[in-house]
């Protein structure tokens, strides 16, 4: 998400304070903004444990289930930077409210979907709404609370709730699916959007750039179209092979659009992605680590959901409890990570976290066809703790040594990497499990590949960051 830090910002008025104490109104503002971010985090996980039941109800194949996740993640990642820039132009509050309205309406569409086409349309619109909510909500938070203790406290609360959102989503998804059916998971999100939308107009005031920035619409169209075409091509190829015409056309189109995106960004006056910034060693290698940790973890959660429910025949509720333990472990890791990073430095923690994540995922290759709940619970929980360490350390690695005037672009790259990682992992690897005749064998294959990719990436990032950087400033 692009968080502008330039002095041209006109911040939302906030009571000045020398410490981290917040006024009653400031607490309400923080509650609304965090509730919106929590709602989006919930959407990433609440449907996971309901996928098998949802697939049976709407007639979706195992391979098609990936689109229940991808249909949301693709627009939420592809349009993130564009909507952050549009909010600078037309007003963050206005766009934030619009995003809530789109998200709420889309959730209702998904709730009452009568076939998979309507459901996937609702999910895609949810992703579009999330692409508006995430950058505008974060920008409203950083401009509402002044830099210093108040902003630190607000960001700390927001980050904790984002981690809790995933945990609560997995557990709540299991409970709702078992008691009220999978549609209740989508209905919950719609109700949450309505509540936040009712409170937000009374608490938030407008915030925008004092100057009118240009919009890089060609760049946004190119990167979104390129990602969509590539994911469709690779997902379809995993099922039918690369010989089909639609696969070849989509693959060529995706490559062309992504190449065009690079050309557009190199010439744009106000690019969505700063190509010169990517030449910074910390930015390039840090984002690679972030991309891999997100893509592999989202894939592991996807295939473990199928393993627990379709191989071990656990209920949605018990599956949710497994991932609930994982989420609590992630929250604990998020609390401990700053101290660990303070002692060892963000670069070392990034490399160590990627390595640990890969090694513990590798242990799950030993899962059994009739037992493995405890191994899965412990291994995925520890891997998730390492995942949280990688998330925090890659963000610090990427933004270290970047001039204040470019921090907004660096932060935008961090969030875009997160969204793209979540988007591409399941289509690229998840289909290897869903298209196998033996699902159990497919799950173990995917876990082994994910572990190997993580370990290999840890080695590459370590080598890339070990050379003395010429960038101004270095990570502690």
Burial 205-222 (b: 16+ CB within 10 A, else e): bebbbeeeeebbebbbbb
What does the angle CA 339 – CA 343 – CA 344 come to, to the nearest 5 degrees? 115
Question: DSSP string covering 142-171, please?
Answer: HHHS-TTHHHHHHHHHHHHHHHHHHHHHHH
pLDDT tens track, the chain, 476 positions: 333 333 333 444 444 444 556 666 778 888 888 888 888 878 877 887 788 888 888 888 766 777 887 788 778 777 777 787 777 777 788 888 999 999 999 999 999 999 999 999 999 999 999 888 887 887 777 677 765 566 656 666 666 666 667 667 777 887 888 888 889 989 999 999 999 999 888 887 776 555 665 677 788 788 878 877 887 777 676 566 677 788 889 889 989 998 998 898 888 777 777 777 777 888 889 889 989 998 898 888 888 888 888 889 888 788 878 888 887 888 788 778 878 888 888 889 999 999 999 999 999 998 888 888 899 999 999 998 998 888 888 877 876 766 655 555 666 677 677 767 776 777 677 767 766 778 888 899 999 999 999 999 999 999 988 864 444 444 44
Question: 3-state SS string over 31-48?
Answer: HHHHHHHHHHHHHHHCCH
Residue 408 is predicted with a pLDDT of 54
**Tokens read off for 216:** 């890089």
Helix axes 281-306, 407-425, angle to 10 degrees: 30
Contact (CB, 8 A) for 73 and 45: no
Residue 103 is predicted with a pLDDT of 95
Contacting residues for 422 by C-beta, under 8 A, at least 6 apart? 44, 73, 77, 294, 295, 298
- 240-280: per-residue pLDDT in tens? 667 778 888 988 998 999 899 889 888 877 777 777 777 78
User: What is the pTM assigned to this prediction?
Assistant: 0.74
Please name which of 213, 209, 204 lies closest in space to residue 141, comparing C-alpha atoms. Answer: 204
Contacting residues for 182 by C-beta, under 8 A, at least 6 apart? 47, 50, 53, 54, 57, 176
């Amino acid at each position: 998400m692009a968080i502008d830090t330039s002095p041209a910002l006109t911040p939302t008025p906030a009571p000045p304070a020398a410490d981290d104490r917040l006024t009653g109104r400031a607490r309400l503002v923080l509650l609304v903004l965090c509730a919106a971010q929590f709602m989006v985090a919930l959407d990433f996980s609440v449907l996971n444990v309901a996928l098998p039941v949802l697939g049976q109800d709407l007639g979706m194949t195992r391979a098609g289930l990936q689109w229940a996740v991808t249909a949301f993640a693709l627009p939420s990642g592809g349009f993130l930077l564009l909507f952050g820039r549009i909010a600078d132009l037309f007003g963050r509050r206005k766009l934030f409210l619009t995003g809530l309205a789109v998200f709420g309406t889309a959730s209702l569409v998904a709730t009452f979907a009568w076939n998979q086409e309507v459901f996937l349309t609702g999910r895609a619109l949810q992703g579009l709404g999330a692409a508006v909510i995430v950058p505008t909500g974060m920008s409203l938070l950083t401009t509402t609370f002044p830099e210093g203790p108040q902003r630190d406290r607000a960001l700390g609360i927001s980050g904790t709730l984002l981690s809790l959102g995933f945990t609560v989503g997995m557990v709540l998804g299991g409970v709702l699916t078992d008691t009220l059916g999978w549609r209740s998971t989508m209905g919950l999100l719609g109700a949450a959007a309505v509540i936040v939308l009712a409170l937000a107009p009374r608490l938030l005031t407008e915030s925008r750039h004092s100057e009118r920035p240009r919009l890089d619409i060609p760049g946004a169209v190119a990167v979104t179209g390129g990602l969509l075409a590539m994911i469709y091509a690779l997902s379809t190829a995993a099922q039918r092979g690369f010989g089909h015409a639609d696969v070849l056309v989509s693959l060529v189109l995706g490559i062309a659009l992504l190449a065009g995106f690079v050309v557009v960004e190199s010439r744009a006056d106000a690019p969505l992605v700063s190509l010169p910034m990517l030449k910074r060693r910390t930015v390039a290698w840090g984002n690679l680590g972030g991309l891999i940790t997100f893509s592999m973890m989202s894939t592991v959660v996807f295939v473990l959901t199928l393993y627990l429910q379709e191989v071990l025949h656990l209920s949605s509720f018990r599956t949710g409890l497994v991932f609930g333990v994982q989420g609590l472990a992630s929250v604990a890791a998020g609390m401990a990570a700053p101290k660990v990073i303070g002692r060892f430095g963000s670069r070392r923690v990034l490399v160590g976290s990627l390595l640990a994540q890969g090694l513990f995922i590798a242990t799950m290759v030993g899962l059994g066809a009739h037992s493995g709940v405890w191994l899965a619970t412990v291994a995925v929980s520890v891997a998730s703790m390492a995942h949280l360490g990688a998330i925090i350390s890659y963000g610090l690695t990427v933004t270290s040594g970047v001039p204040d005037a470019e921090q907004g672009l660096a932060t935008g790259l961090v969030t875009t990497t997160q969204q793209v990682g979540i988007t591409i992992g399941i289509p690229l690897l998840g289909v290897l499990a869903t298209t196998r005749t033996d699902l159990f064998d497919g799950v173990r294959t995917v876990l082994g590949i994910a572990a190997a990719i993580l370990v290999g990436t840890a080695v590459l990032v370590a080598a890339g960051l070990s050379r003395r950087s010429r960038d101004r400033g270095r990570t502690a």
